[in-house]
Amino acid sequence: MPTNTAASQVGRALEILRDRPLVALTGAGMSTDSGIPDYRGPGSPPRRPMTYGEFVSGETAQRRYWARSHVGWARMRRAVPNPGHHALATLERAGTLHGLITQNVDGLHGTAGSRALIDLHGRIADVICLGCRQISPREVLQARFEELNPGFVDAVGPGIETAPDGDAVLETTDGFRLAACESCGGALKPDVVFFGENVPKERVTRAYAMVDALVPRDGALLVAGSSLTVMSGLRFVKHAKKLDVPVVIVNRGETRGDPLATALIDDGCSEVLSALAGVATGPTDREPIGQWRDLAP
């Protein structure tokens, strides 16, 4: 259950969300209870993720990225959905949540059962070739890395810190052997949006359409676990505000979208979303989820 401080905030949010169809926008704070650290939450250390420009600069940067990711993925793939993920899946099954836009790349929303889902920044479980653009499973690449770099993960040891987006904090990556695309020999990259890289236009269009569809249905936008620091997620909050769609933000600490919110809940996603799922299921005679998923032209 939410803390005493958040109890009245939850009550206010319930008044806004009750009997309304919802679209959710989630960020890294959703997954901290699954053991995946975030970038900007309270107490998070400063982090400098690799940019797209760095990654495509050559093998030195790619070796650094993949060595760290090889260690981090061995841990991250064991992460399981937490109560917050399950709460949103419950709201979808109840007919209340009609769409979910996530900035996370961990795939835990899908594992929890969410189906009306847009992985805005891609999924770390997929790999794309920068040459032929073929997409392949990360599990396959992980096995190839293990063959090329036997004992690398064990040599690092369990004390290395796990960082967001499935990598680990390694200082030395010299000697790590890269794997190329098996089809064309091109460089491989996780199929996620790096800093400095644009979100595919098709995903953005579908996400805007989800928010647009709230207007005639008197719906609301529920933001969970995002600081909204970058425009990638904040633009949908701004869009909702422009359309007079109520915005409820659940996050530990302040967010860049706070001035745009109708209600704020300063508490953890697992506690608050579980409470919301218990009472804010709303009517079940909504339009089918698929009609919301396919709104984009």
> Which of the residues are catalytic?
121
Taking the C-alpha atoms of residue 171 and residue 153, their distance in angstroms, rounded to an integer, is: 14
Taking the C-alpha atoms of residue 190 and residue 56, their distance in angstroms, rounded to an integer, is: 12
C-beta of residue 237 within 8 angstroms of C-beta of residue 223: yes
Taking the C-alpha atoms of residue 107 and residue 109, their distance in angstroms, rounded to an integer, is: 6
**Could you tell me the end-to-end alpha-carbon distance of the chain, in angstroms, rounded to an integer?**
41
Packed helices 59-76 and 138-148: angle between N→C axes, nearest 10 degrees: 110
C-beta of residue 249 within 8 angstroms of C-beta of residue 220: no
Q: Which of 173, 175, 181, 187 minimizes the C-alpha distance to 130?
A: 187
Locate 186 and state its tokens.
């091109």
CA distances from 284 to 20, 94, 110, 248, 281 (A): 11, 6, 21, 21, 8
- Estimate to the nearest angstrom the gap between the alpha carbon of 290 and the chain centroid: 21
Taking the C-alpha atoms of residue 260 and residue 1, their distance in angstroms, rounded to an integer, is: 26
Taking the C-alpha atoms of residue 80 and residue 84, their distance in angstroms, rounded to an integer, is: 11
Q: Which of 29, 10, 39, 167 minimizes the C-alpha distance to 108?
A: 29
Range list of H helices, the chain: 4-17, 52-55, 59-76, 83-93, 108-112, 138-148, 152-156, 201-212, 231-242, 269-279, 289-293
